[in-house]
C-alpha cells in the first residue's frame, strides 16, 4: 500500500523501495536525487499508507524505515516537490479531515506542553543553536552571514519595529525563551523588560543571565503565563510563542494583548504560519516535538485581531529565512550526532533529525513562512510610512555593541 501511494505521488526524482521480503520497486523518472528506502517490517507497508504525515516519521525514528541510499533530506525533498493531493484521493481525504482540528491550550495544558520540549537538556540546545540561544527564525541580510550574525539581525529588526526611541519604555516579552531578546532590548535599547516563560529551564537560565547583565533592575524574567499578568506595557513583543497559543485561543490572545498594551503602545508578533488555507500542524511535530502547537494562516490571525479592536499597522512575510536558519541547525546537529546520542539515544537523534529536515523542507518546498505583525490600539501610534524602521535598523547596525553576555558553553 505504501509503495502504491508513493507511485501515485512521485513523478520526478528516483525512489527505490525495498519491502520486508526484499522485493524492489522503482518509482519516478530516474532523475536526481536517487533514494533507496528499506522497510524492515511487513506491518509498516500498510501503516505507512494509512497516515503518512505521522507514520513516516515514526517509522524512521523507530528504524522501520531505513534510508540505504541518499539522505532523509533527499527523500522528504522528493516527496515535497511532488506533493499534489489531486493525484491522490487518499491524501486529499486525509487533508480534509485534518483541517477540522483546532488546538486549545488552557493554562495548565500550556505548561505541560512547554515542558515537553523546552525543558530538555540544556546541553542539547548548546549543540545546535547560536551562542545567544535564539530558537526562532533568524534574519539573513546576506546569504554568507553566519547564524550568529543573522540572529543579531533578527533582534535588531524587531527592535526597529518596536520604536524604542526613548529609554525606560516598559516592554513585555511573551515567551521570552532563554532571555536573549530581553537582554538585547534592555542592554542595547535602554528598555525596562519583563520576560515571561512557562519553561522552568528557560527561566532558570534567563535569571542567571539577567544577574550578570549591566541592565540591572531594568530586566526581570518570570515563570508565568501571559494571561496572568497585569499591565500596562508600552511595548509587547512575542517571538516564536504564538505557534503554541492554539487556534481556539487566538481571540483570547489578542484580547489580552490589547488589555496589557498602553493606549499609545506597539506590539510585534513574530510567528510561523501558512501562506495558504488554514490547516493543522503536521501530526508528527504535534505528537513528538511540539504538543499543543498550531500554525495559523493569516486569514485566521486577521479574523482574530479584527474582533479585538486592534490595528494591524504592518505585516512582513519572511519566506526563506527560516529555511536557512533550519539548515544551520540541521548541519550543526548532524555534525554532533554522537553527543546528542550520549545525552539521549539513537532513536531521539532520528526523531530530531526528522523534525529538523521536515521543517526545513516545509519552508523551502511547501507553504510554511514566518510573519511579523505590528499591532497597536491607536491609528496614530506609529509613523505613517515605514522609513523609520529602515533608518532605525541601519543606525543600530552602525552603532558599537554593548558587552555581550552570552550563554556559557
Q: What are the grid coordinates assigned to 401, written together?
A: 555593541
Which whole-number Å values give the CA distances from 231 to 310, 375, 395, in the listed order?
A: 16, 17, 30
Residue range 2-98 forms a domain whose CATH class is alpha beta
Confidence band for 401, pLDDT divided at 50, 70 and 90: low
316-347 in b/e burial notation, b at 16+ Cβ within 10 A? eebeebbbbbbbbbbeebbeeeeebeeeeeee
Question: What is the CATH code for 107-398?
Answer: 3.40.50.150
Q: Could you give the C-alpha distances from 152 to 34, 145, 149, 385, in angstroms and in order?
A: 38, 11, 5, 25
Lowest mean pLDDT among 40-49, 148-157, 263-272, 320-329: 40-49
Q: What pLDDT is stored for residue 166 in this prediction?
A: 85
Q: How far is the CA of 228 from the CAs of 49, 99, 197, in angstroms?
A: 44, 31, 12
Taking residue 229's Cβ as centre, other Cβ atoms within 10 Å add up to: 16
Confidence of residue 395 (pLDDT cuts 50, 70, 90): very high
Q: How far apart are CA 254 and CA 264, in angstroms?
A: 16
Reported confidence tier of residue 409, pLDDT bands at 50, 70, 90? very low
Integer Cα distance of 232 and 228 in angstroms: 13
The answer to whether residue 20 scores a pLDDT higher than 80 is yes
pLDDT tens string 92-144 = 555 655 555 555 556 667 778 888 888 899 999 999 999 999 999 999 999 89
- Give which of 386, 4, 407 is closest to 206, Cα–Cα: 407
- Quick check: 234 pLDDT over 90? yes
Q: Is the pLDDT of residue 225 over 80?
A: yes
What's the pLDDT score for residue 101?
56
Give the integer Cα–Cα distance in Å for 149 and 138: 9
Catalytically active residues are 359
Least confident segment among 98-107, 154-163, 195-204: 98-107
Q: Phi and psi for 24 in degrees, rounded to 5?
A: -105, 140
Question: What pLDDT is attached to residue 92?
Answer: 58
Task: Report pLDDT digits (tens) over 242-274.
Answer: 999 999 999 999 999 999 999 999 999 999 999
pLDDT value at position 96?
57
Mean pLDDT for all residues in the chain = 91
What pLDDT is attached to residue 408? 47
What average pLDDT does the segment 75-82 reach?
Answer: 94
Domain ranges of the chain: 2-98, 107-398
Tens of pLDDT, residues 331-389: 999 999 999 999 999 999 999 999 999 999 999 999 999 999 999 999 999 999 999 99
Res. 18: pLDDT tops 70: yes
What pLDDT, on the 0 to 100 scale, is given for residue 116?
Answer: 85
Q: Model confidence at 70, in pLDDT bands (50, 70, 90)?
A: very high
Pairing of strands 14-18, 34-39: parallel
3-class SS of residue 65:
strand
pLDDT at residue 196 is higher than 90 = yes
Predicted confidence at residue 1, as pLDDT, reads 81
- Average pLDDT over every residue of 168-179: 97
- 399 contacts: CB under 8 Å, gap ≥ 6: none
Residue 380's Cβ-count burial label (10 Å; 0-12, 13-18, 19+) is exposed
Amino acid at each position: 500500500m505504501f509503495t502504491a501511494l508513493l507511485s501515485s505521488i512521485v513523478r520526478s526524482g528516483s525512489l527505490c523501495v525495498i519491502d520486508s521480503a526484499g522485493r524492489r520497486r522503482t518509482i519516478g523518472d530516474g532523475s536526481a536525487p536517487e533514494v533507496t528506502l528499506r522497510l524492515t517490517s511487513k506491518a509498516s507497508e500498510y501503516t505507512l499508507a494509512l497516515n503518512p504525515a505521522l507514520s513516516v516519521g515514526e517509522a524512521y525514528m523507530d528504524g522501520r524505515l531505513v534510508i540505504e541510499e541518499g539522505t532523509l533530506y533527499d527523500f522528504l525533498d522528493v516527496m515535497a516537490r511532488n506533493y499534489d493531493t489531486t493525484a491522490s484521493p487518499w491524501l486529499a481525504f486525509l487533508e480534509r479531515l485534518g483541517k477540522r482540528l483546532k488546538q486549545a491550550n488552557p493554562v495548565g495544558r500550556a505548561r505541560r506542553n512547554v515542558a515537553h520540549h523546552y525543558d530538555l537538556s540544556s546541553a542539547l540546545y548548546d549543540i545546535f543553536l547560536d551562542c545567544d540561544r535564539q530558537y526562532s527564525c533568524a534574519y539573513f541580510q546576506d546569504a554568507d552571514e553566519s547564524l550568529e550574525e543573522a540572529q543579531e539581525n533578527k533582534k535588531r529588526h524587531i527592535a526597529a519595529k518596536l520604536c524604542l526611541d526613548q529609554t525606560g519604555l516598559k516592554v513585555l516579552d511573551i515567551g521570552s525563551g532563554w532571555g536573549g531578546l530581553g537582554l538585547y532590548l534592555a542592554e542595547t535599547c535602554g528598555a525596562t523588560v519583563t520576560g515571561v516563560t512557562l519553561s522552568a529551564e528557560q527561566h532558570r537560565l534567563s535569571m542567571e543571565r539577567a544577574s550578570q547583565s549591566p541592565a540591572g533592575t531594568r530586566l526581570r524574567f518570570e515563570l508565568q503565563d501571559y494571561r496572568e499578568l497585569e499591565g500596562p506595557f508600552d511595548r509587547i513583543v512575542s517571538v516564536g510563542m504564538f505557534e503554541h497559543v492554539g487556534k481556539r485561543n487566538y481571540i483570547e490572545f489578542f484580547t489580552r494583548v490589547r488589555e496589557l498594551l498602553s493606549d499609545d503602545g506597539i506590539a510585534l508578533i513574530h510567528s510561523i504560519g501558512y501562506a495558504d488555507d488554514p490547516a493543522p500542524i503536521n501530526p508528527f511535530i504535534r505528537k513528538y516535538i511540539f504538543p499543543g502547537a498550531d500554525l495559523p494562516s493569516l486569514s485566521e490571525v486577521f479574523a482574530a485581531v479584527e474582533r479585538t479592536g486592534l490595528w494591524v499597522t504592518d505585516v512582513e512575510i519572511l519566506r526563506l529565512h527560516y529555511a536557512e536558519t533550519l539548515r544551520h541547525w540541521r548541519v550543526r546537529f548532524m555534525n554532533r550526532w554522537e553527543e546528542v546520542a550520549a545525552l539521549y539515544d539513537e532513536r531521539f537523534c532520528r526523531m530530531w533529525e526528522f523534525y529538523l529536515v521536515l521543517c526545513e523542507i516545509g519552508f523551502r518546498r511547501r507553504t510554511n513562512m514566518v510573519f511579523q505583525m505590528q499591532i497597536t490600539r491607536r491609528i496614530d501610534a506609529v509613523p505613517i510610512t515605514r522609513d523609520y524602521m529602515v533608518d532605525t535598523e541601519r543606525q543600530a547596525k552602525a552603532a558599537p555593541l554593548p558587552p555581550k553576555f552570552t550563554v556559557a558553553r
